[in-house]
Amino acid sequence: MTDNIMMLFSFSGHKGKMPFCGSKICDALLGAVQECAPDASMKEIELKVSIYLTKVKERVMIKEKKQDNIKCQRERERLTVEENRQNS
């Protein structure tokens, strides 16, 4: 599931978002985590998933900022190359 899709969900469906809890993908995720970490309680797993969903907007913003920085860097490099050609 992409970050953009995850932004549509909250664990229990608060703030006008769709509930992740009870979805097939949530059930599969919880089951997989229980298999890999049998000592983890369902409450612990649900809390971690809830926090992960809560932080998705922050991750998207960080990713977009990195992409913007890369675009700016490429543009600066392009302008430098152009300037060097003109000065040659």
Strands in the chain per DSSP E? 9-10, 18-19
Which of 14-28, 31-45, 48-62, 67-81 is least confident? 67-81
The residue with tokens 């969900």 is 9
Residue-level pLDDT at 5: 93
Give pTM, 2 decimals: 0.72
Mean pLDDT of the chain, nearest integer = 93
Count H helices and E strands in the chain, helices first: 4, 2
Which percentage of the chain shows pLDDT scores above 70? 100
